[in-house]
C-alpha cells in the first residue's frame, strides 16, 4: 500500500482461518500497539456504553441510535489543556461524526466523553452492516 503525500498508519484485527478481515482503522496519532489492540477489541462495548453519554450531550442526542462504523483512533486532549486520552472516531449512516473519548483504568477502557459533528463535505459516510447468513 502506498499513498502520495503524508504516510498514514492503519490497524485491524486479523481473524484466524478464512474469516473476512475487518475494515482497517486509521491510527491518527501513534499509540502503543497493545493499546491499539485493546481499543479495537473493546470498541463495540465502548460504543454501547457511550450511547448513554450521547443522550446527555446536546450535539449527540439525535445520533444516539444510529449505526456507526469505526474509522480512526486518535490521541489528544478532550479540551485545551485537558488530559490526553484516546478517542475512537466513528462515522454514522446519516453523515455525522462521533468521537468517543476513552479513559484507561487498568486493563479496561471506559467511555468518558463524546463529541459529535457533521462529516466534512469531502467525506462520504460508509457504514458496514453485517451480511445476512446464507442458508
- Tell me, what's the pLDDT at 100? 95
Asked whether residue 16 is domain-assigned, the answer is no
Asked whether residue 81 is domain-assigned, the answer is yes
Asked whether residue 12 is domain-assigned, the answer is no
Asked whether residue 89 is domain-assigned, the answer is yes
Give the global pTM. Answer: 0.75
- Tell me, what's the pLDDT at 112? 93
Task: Give the C-alpha separation, 15 to 47, whole Å.
Answer: 21
Question: Which range of residues forms the domain containing residue 83?
Answer: 35-118
Cell of 11: 490497524
pLDDT bracket for residue 4 (50, 70, 90) = low
Task: Give the C-alpha separation, 62 to 45, whole Å.
Answer: 20
17-21, 63-67, 76-80: which is most confident: 63-67
Asked whether residue 95 is domain-assigned, the answer is yes
In this prediction, what percent of the chain has a pLDDT beyond 90?
35
Strand arrangement, sheet containing 68-77: 9-11, 25-27, 68-77, 84-92, 96-105, 108-118
Phi, psi of 50 (to 5 degrees): -70, -20
Asked whether residue 110 is domain-assigned, the answer is yes
Count of domains observed in the chain: 1
Task: Give the C-alpha separation, 128 to 125, whole Å.
Answer: 10
pLDDT bracket for residue 84 (50, 70, 90) = confident
Stretch among 88-97, 101-110, 120-129 having the lowest mean pLDDT: 120-129
The sign of the torsion formed by the CA atoms of 70, 72, 73, 79 equals negative
Per-residue pLDDT tens over the stretch 94-119: 889 999 999 988 878 999 999 998 87
Task: Give the C-alpha separation, 110 to 2, whole Å.
Answer: 35
pLDDT at 120 > cutoff 80:
no
pLDDT at 130 > cutoff 50:
no
Asked whether residue 11 is domain-assigned, the answer is no
Cell of 53: 453519554
Asked whether residue 113 is domain-assigned, the answer is yes
Residue among 39, 97, 42 at smallest CA distance from 66: 97
Per-residue pLDDT tens over the stretch 7-45: 777 777 776 666 666 678 888 877 888 888 899 999 999
Amino acid at each position: 500500500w502506498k499513498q502520495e503525500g503524508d504516510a498514514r498508519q492503519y490497524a485491524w484485527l486479523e481473524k484466524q482461518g478464512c474469516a473476512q478481515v475487518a475494515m482497517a482503522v486509521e491510527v491518527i496519532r501513534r499509540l502503543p500497539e497493545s493499546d491499539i489492540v485493546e481499543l479495537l477489541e473493546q470498541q463495540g462495548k465502548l460504543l454501547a456504553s457511550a450511547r448513554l453519554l450521547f443522550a446527555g450531550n446536546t450535539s449527540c442526542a439525535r445520533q444516539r441510535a444510529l449505526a456507526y462504523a469505526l474509522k480512526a483512533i486518535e490521541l489528544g486532549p478532550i479540551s485545551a489543556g485537558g488530559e490526553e486520552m484516546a478517542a475512537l472516531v466513528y462515522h454514522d449512516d446519516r453523515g455525522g461524526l462521533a468521537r468517543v473519548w476513552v479513559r484507561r483504568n487498568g486493563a479496561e477502557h471506559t467511555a468518558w466523553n463524546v463529541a459529535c459533528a457533521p462529516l466534512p463535505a469531502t467525506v462520504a459516510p460508509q457504514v458496514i452492516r453485517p451480511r445476512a447468513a446464507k442458508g
